[in-house]
Every structure is written in structure tokens, then in C-alpha cells.
Structure 1
Amino acid sequence: MTVSTQPSPRALLGCIADDSTGATDLANTLVRNGMRTVQTIGVPAGGSVLPGVEQADALVVALKSRTIPAADAVAQSLDALRWLQAQGCRQFFFKYCSTFDSTDAGNIGPVAEALLAALGSDFTIACPAFPENGRTIFRGHLFVGDALLSESGMENHPLTPMHDANLVRVLQRQSEGKVGLLRYDTVARGSGATAQAIAALRGDGVRLAIADAVSDADLHTLGEACAALPLVTGGSGLALGLPANFRRAGLLPERADADNVAPVAGPALVLAGSASRATNGQVAQWLARKRPALRLDPLALAERAPLVEQALELIAAHAEPVLVYATTTPEEVKAAQAALGVERAGHLVEQALAAIAAAAKARGTRRFVVAGGETSGAVVQALGVQALRIGAQIAPGVPATVTLEAQPLALALKSGNFGGPDFFDEALRRLGGEA
């Protein structure tokens, strides 16, 4: 990393996230650690500089590349890298899910290797650990709470089922270069020992190394040890240790107002496309309280049932927020996929939720709570969102955000697995009004 003795007038850290909720999760971590952060929705058209970007310490480009073909994910990620380099960023972060969502074909390994090559570097770490949300890595194995990844419910994921908790094996199947392990007993000895182990792994020809971490202290250690790496990769937790590197270099002042965003008043809507356990619990809580809601069934959507129109009628009929959801059990998800195909089933739901969001915005809705990474990506595109200023945390991994527009929208974009049972109501309150 290039070191200067003066605070930088341009962004320091440039981040590439493979979905929208992952992007806000990472941005949330950076803001909580004193970096003013702006998230763009995709790469700005024509390489343009968006309003507000010049005031950011960190930039996060949110792609929708987690489940697309690996070659397309690589191309999009390299495009994002070029834009971030043009904004003056000094270090780069490739962010993916804390449950390492991927397949044997990618996309984590191919994108990481392409970014390394573009930056002229030969090594980086891969650490999706997020202890605050129960994701820890020990001896290369990823745990979700007390369960191995392969026994956590992620084995039933409709797009990226995770059947192997050994991340060294998972990443090696996706990668051309050698994959190694940065063991916990080394990380526990501090950043100096960790940096030495990194040098040894590089000497052994390792290109990507899974890094063990079971606590936030481990993530701070890893962040400090990686200060000189052009690229780091992992979950949002790995970003805990990066802002301090810039402060030690004299590039980043102490900030107490990094999460300041203005509240947004106006009607609100909740949209849920995730089938995760956490989102199922949040939907169940909403329904148990007899709140207005409508379920979107992909089989009915395939038969052209007027569910979008029914949702808009329900929204118009209620002054309070409405929940529109496709969330259901893994068994029902598999049944819909068997009938329609995995891609079509998901596309039908995303398309419907996006259409509802766009129509609701046109009718005056200003606050949106969205559950699910793929769903969030579709919704922000439908809303025409170009960039978000990141505000205070609502729940671990989920901040309040406000669009950079003359008439701003407030959004909470939630990974399916995040948040407690009351998340929807808490998010609505934190976005600027009553639930």
C-alpha cells in the first residue's frame, strides 16, 4: 500500500461485492469503524463519478454476480476494479457471503484470481468469518453457530447448496492456483506471526489461503497482517481490521459521524424473497401479528396469476406497511424448482417483487425493507438506485441506507440469514418512521 503522511481527499478502500446485501453488510462494517462509505449499484455508467463519492473514505460496488457464469462474474468484477482504481483507491476488497456461497465452478476462486492478476499480485487470503453472526473458521472448516456449514441449512440453498465445510477443498475446486491454510494457532500469535506465515505460504507457491478466525480479535489481527496486500477477500468481518491500517499510515482521521444520514419520511413496504431460516422466522412473526401480507407463489406467477396487481391493491388499501413475500419452506422451494427449473422459479419471483417495488415507488412509497441478496439486487435495479450513503446499523450486517438523490429513498437490504424475528419492524423504525 502506498503510504502518505496526509489524509487522502479520495477514497482509500475500494470494494467489490458479489450481491447487494453483501455490499451493505460490508459497508456497515466500514462505517462502524469510522470510514464514510458510499455503495454504488453496479459500476457507474461510463465510469462516471457520482455525487457524494468524493466525500467517501471507502467505496463499495454492489454487483449481482454470485450465481452468474464465472466468466461473466470475472468480467464484471474487473470492470468494477477499473472504476475503483480511477477513483484513487489504494487497496481492494472482494467481498462474498459469510457462508461462502458458491459452486465447484466458482465464482469466488475465478474472481479472486482474476483480480490478483489485474493488480499484479501473487497472493491473498480468503476469510468469510463473521463471528458476530456465528460464522467462524477453524482448521479451514466453516461453522454456522455450532454446526458445520454442510449441516447448517446451507446444504438446502436453492442456488448454491454447500455440502462441504472444508473451505480449502471448496476453494481449490474453483481455483487454478494452489490453495493453502493460514491456521488458527498462527493467527492467535498476532499480526507479526501472521505476516510471517503469509510470507511462508507465498514462498510455497500458495496463491489463495483460507484464514482461520473464531473472534473479532482474529479478524483485527488478519487485517493488520494484510495491510500491504493489494487485495484481500472475505466476508464483511475481515474489514474490521482495515480502517486502522489507514489511520496508522496517516491517511484516515478519526471520525465520529461516519454513519450520519438523514431520516426519510413516507410510506413503507417490506419485500421478502429469501427462503432462509431467519427470513422464514421474520415472515412468521409478521403474519402472527395479523399484519397485512401477500404471498407470491412462483407456480401461480408462471400461470400468469395477477399477483403483482393484487399486491398493489393491498398496498393501496392499507396505511400501514404491507409485506409481500415469496419466502417458504425448502421443500416448497424445491417443488417449484422441479416444476419450473431453478433459474425460472427464481426469476419469476425477483421480477414480480421488482415490479411491485417500482410501482410502489411511483405511487409514493419512500421506505423499503428487502430480504434476500438476489431479491435486493433486483429491487434496487427496479427502483433506479445508483448509489447509497451508508448509515447506522439496524442489525449485525444490515445498515440503514439512503439514496443520493434530491428526493431520497431509505432502504434496508438484508441478507436472508441476517436479523432477528422482529427485524422488519425494527428496520422500518430505523429508516425514519413508525413500523
Structure 2
Amino acid sequence: MPTLGAIADDFTGATDLATMLVARGYRTVVTVGPDAVAGDHAVAAADAVVVALKSRTAPVSEAVASSLGALRALRAAGCERFYFKYCSTFDSTPQGNIGPVTDALLNAVDERRAVVVPAFPGTGRTVLDGRLLVHGEPLDESPMRHHPLTPMRDSDVGRLLAPQTTHPVRHVGLETVRSGAEALKAALDDPALPDALVVVDAAENEDLRTISAATLHHRLVTGAAGLALGLTGPRPGASRARAASRPGDPAVVLSGSASAATRAQVAHGRAHLPHRKLDIAALRADLDASVTELVGFARDCWQDDPRRPPLIYAVDDLRDLDQDDATPVASVLVEQALAACAVRLVGAGARRLLVAGGETSGAVITALGVRTLTIGSPIAPGVTWATAARGTGHADGEVDVALKSGNFGDTDIFTEAWSVLA
């Protein structure tokens, strides 16, 4: 029976955290939404359950409601401790959703305060003096300042969080963290500290282990996946899922992300893979016809050379974001098109899908009717293969999926990810 329950605000974040938990010795299952928790045999046999939501950019009320629904489902499954997982670049707007969801979860578990730990040094995210750095650059000077949905225009986590929460926001610096777990625990549990959200500095993995050790008695922690580094699961060497597909099975890359890392990956992919870029105007005019053309292109590629998965992508140049079509409305079209492509391509035989972008991943997994993801072979920090179990009525069965956050992965991930899929 699971005792640790996690709520992830997007699908790539869910697999990111689940990968960390498996590495720490937890038998871990990712469920797509709270409804998939109840009555699932894999959930009952797990040590940890991560509920994947598509709440990062949802309206605040919707994000809060879905997060509380996930909490109720996890409690019913037996979980006693909870982890609210958001992106290590703190993707949010002035309205939320990190603050409102944290407030609601704190109230539901009857806790007074929670740590806020977006740091994940393994992926280049550190917090110093309360400021979030991305590969050494302040967040607001990194490519995240151009994000089409959640442009990050401040690197001070406290200032980002304050407008979103009803709690005071406090900060604990690196000096206290480096004093050890007991000193940090005493600082966090100080009776003089008001009910608060506490931003905690972390620059190295050892700092995250210290924070985790100091908060083991907290019923709720919040942060990126790196905070799981300090957890010790009950089953060292917890096994990973075997691939559902076989080498040579049809594969495809679906990229909806506009991040700088993904644009570099797209550029590399274009040099090595057959590719097709989404035409927003054509999608707006006739989405179904555009999807039909893209699916036909991919199927032709499989026949020509099954060893080279086709790449279907949305953005390859920063100038794409300067156009009138680089709007949330256009992003919805991209999600709809790539999700529709995924459904038709799986129906046509695809058994390996690499999906880039959190919103795109959510759209694809939802459209495919996936209920659970079982973690498989890791590809890169924060990116893993997973076996996707689809709901009843899907004759296509299980497929292997890799859900890649826009900012994660090496430049050659679109060509090299397949080599680790056993």
C-alpha cells in the first residue's frame, strides 16, 4: 500500500518525480488524474503514487479543485505524506497556480507551513539568496523570460510567490542549510515563525538531501523533483518497467515546446531525421486535414526507413514567438494537432512516442486514454521512458512514451533516446 502521494502540475513533471522516486527505492506508479488511483492493482502494490494533472496553466479554481481531488484520492489509497511537485523553473503567473494550490493543500492536511524548493542542481536549477538561477543565469535573464504561457520576469522566488498566496513568504538561506539537518529543522520549526511558505536555498544535491531530512516530519512538502534526492524508499533497487515495444517498432517525435533547449533539439533532429513543421494557419483553417497530412507523412517515413523516427514539431526559431500566431490560442491548436496525431499514429502501429513539452505531453496522454505510467529506462536527468497502460476499449494496448519537459534533455535526445529503450 502506498504511503507517499505526490501531485504533479503537469505530465512531464510527474514522470520526472517518479523517476527520482524509483531511483530512491520506491515502487512508483504515475496515474493520469485522480480517478485512475482507486481500484488500480498497480497502485495498491506501490510504495508511492504520483498523480499527473494538467493544472499548471489552468484557471486557478480548476487547478485548486483538481489538486484537492488528487489529495483525496491519494488519502483514500493510504498515503500519509504528500509532495506537491512543480517545475524547477517555477513556471507560473502572478495569479498562480503554485501559491493557491499550496495554500489549499496546506489547509487540507492541517499544516501551518511548507517549504518551497524549486532547486534541482542536476538540471542546472539552483536557489541562492532566494533567487532562482538557471545554469547560473537569473531566471528572468534565462530563456524562460520568453516562455509563451508563463514568461518568468523575476528571479526572486519570494516576490514571485507573494502575489499568489495568502501566507507570508519567508526565506531560509544557504548558511542555515549548510549547518545541517537538525539546525535547518529547528529554523523551520521555530515557534516564532508565522504560518508561512518558506523558500529554502539549495545549490548542490547535498543541500537538497539536508532539506529533505529536515522536513521528513512535514505532511506536505513542495518543490521540483530534486527534493526527492533525500528520500529513502523501502525497496533499494526498485525495479523499472520493461519496454512494451520492440526495437524496430514504429516511433515518432512530437514536439510542441518552444523552449530554447527544445529548439536546439529540433535543430539537431532536423539534421538527422525526416521532419515536418506544424502550419498554424493550416491548422486554424482545417485541423483535421492538416493532421491527416501529418499522419500520412509519418507513415511514409516508417516505410522508407523505420530506424529514423519522423519529427513533427511546432517551433524551431525564436522568431516564431514574435508572430501574431505565437499566442495561447495557437498553443491550444498545437496541443490539439499533436494529440490527434498521436492517437492516429498509435492506431496505425506506433509503439514508441517521444513527446516534448509539458502541455503537449498532457494533451497527448489524455487523448490516448492512458490511465497509468510505469517508469522504465532513464534517458537524461528529468526524462525517462515509461510504459503507458491505456484504458479499456483500446485495442492498441501498451505503448512506450517519453515525456520531456521543454527545458530538459541533451541536444541529441530526439535521435539518441531510443538506444536506452530496452
TM range (shorter): over 0.9
What is the SS of the residue equivalent to 2:189? helix
Equivalent of 1:294, from 271, 276, 287? 276
Distance in structure 2 (CA, Å) of the matches to 1:326 and 1:215 = 34
| Offset of residue 263 of structure 1 | 4.6
Runs of 4+ deviating beyond 6 Å: none
Name the residue aligned to 2:112. 122
Name the residue aligned to 2:182. 192
The correspondence of residues 131-146 of structure 1 with structure 2, limited to 5 A, is 131-146=121-136
Equivalent of 1:264, from 221, 245, 258? 245
Q: What residue identity is the alignment partner of 1:270? A: V
Contact 1:298 1:336 in 2 (8 A): no
Equivalent of 2:386, from 391, 401, 404? 401
Distance in structure 2 (CA, Å) of the matches to 1:181 and 1:206 = 13
Name the residue aligned to 2:5. 14
What is the SS of the residue equivalent to 1:203? coil
1:113-133 Cα distance to aligned partner (Å, 9 max, x none)? 100000011111000101011
Name the residue aligned to 2:60. 70
Q: What residue identity is the alignment partner of 1:323? A: L
Q: What residue identity is the alignment partner of 2:128? A: F
Contact 1:32 1:259 in 2 (8 A): no
The correspondence of residues 237-276 of structure 1 with structure 2, limited to 5 A, is 237-242=226-231, 244=232, 252=234, 254-265=235-246, 266-276=249-259
Equivalent of 1:108, from 89, 95, 98? 98
Distance in structure 1 (CA, Å) of the matches to 2:243 and 2:258 = 32
1:147-179 Cα distance to aligned partner (Å, 9 max, x none)? 000000111110111111000111111111111
Distance in structure 1 (CA, Å) of the matches to 2:349 and 2:90 = 37
Residue 335 (structure 2) pairs with residue 335 (structure 1): no
**Number of residues of Structure 1 aligned to a counterpart in Structure 2:** 409
The correspondence of residues 78-117 of structure 1 with structure 2, limited to 5 A, is 78-117=68-107
Residue 215 (structure 2) pairs with residue 234 (structure 1): no
| Offset of residue 143 of structure 1 | 0.2
Quickly say closer, same or farther: Cα 1:90–1:344, change in 2 above 3 A: same
Name the residue aligned to 2:356. 371
Name the residue aligned to 1:3. none
The correspondence of residues 338-417 of structure 1 with structure 2, limited to 5 A, is 342-404=327-389, 407-417=397-407
Residue 284 (structure 2) pairs with residue 309 (structure 1): no
What is the SS of the residue equivalent to 2:102? helix
What is the SS of the residue equivalent to 1:419? coil
Any stretches of 5+ residues in structure 1 without a counterpart?
A: 1-9
| Offset of residue 28 of structure 1 | 0.9
Distance in structure 2 (CA, Å) of the matches to 1:220 and 1:300 = 49
What is the SS of the residue equivalent to 1:92? strand
What is the SS of the residue equivalent to 1:429? helix
Q: What residue identity is the alignment partner of 1:300? A: A
Name the residue aligned to 1:26. 17
Distance in structure 1 (CA, Å) of the matches to 2:296 and 2:377 = 33
Contact 1:370 1:414 in 2 (8 A): yes
Q: What residue identity is the alignment partner of 2:39? A: V
Contact 1:394 1:400 in 2 (8 A): yes
1:326-347 Cα distance to aligned partner (Å, 9 max, x none)? 0233331231446xxx331111
What is the SS of the residue equivalent to 2:370? coil
Question: TM-score, normalization: structure 1?
Answer: 0.91
Quote the sequence identity (%): 46
Contact 1:336 1:345 in 2 (8 A): no
What is the SS of the residue equivalent to 2:323? helix
Contact 2:241 2:387 in 1 (8 A): no
The correspondence of residues 194-233 of structure 1 with structure 2, limited to 5 A, is 194-200=184-190, 203-233=192-222
Contact 2:106 2:112 in 1 (8 A): yes
Contact 1:51 1:404 in 2 (8 A): no
RMSD: 1.5
Any stretches of 5+ residues in structure 2 without a counterpart?
A: 391-395
Quickly say closer, same or farther: Cα 1:359–1:260, change in 2 above 3 A: closer
Distance in structure 1 (CA, Å) of the matches to 2:121 and 2:325 = 33
1:229-267 Cα distance to aligned partner (Å, 9 max, x none)? 00000000011112x2xx5xxxx2x42243243452221
Distance in structure 1 (CA, Å) of the matches to 2:259 and 2:18 = 22
Question: TM-score, normalization: structure 2?
Answer: 0.94
Name the residue aligned to 1:7. none
1:208-243 Cα distance to aligned partner (Å, 9 max, x none)? 00110001000000001000000000000011112x
Distance in structure 1 (CA, Å) of the matches to 2:286 and 2:192 = 59
Q: What residue identity is the alignment partner of 1:11? A: P
Name the residue aligned to 2:261. 278
Distance in structure 2 (CA, Å) of the matches to 1:337 and 1:168 = 33
Name the residue aligned to 1:44. 35
Contact 2:5 2:49 in 1 (8 A): yes
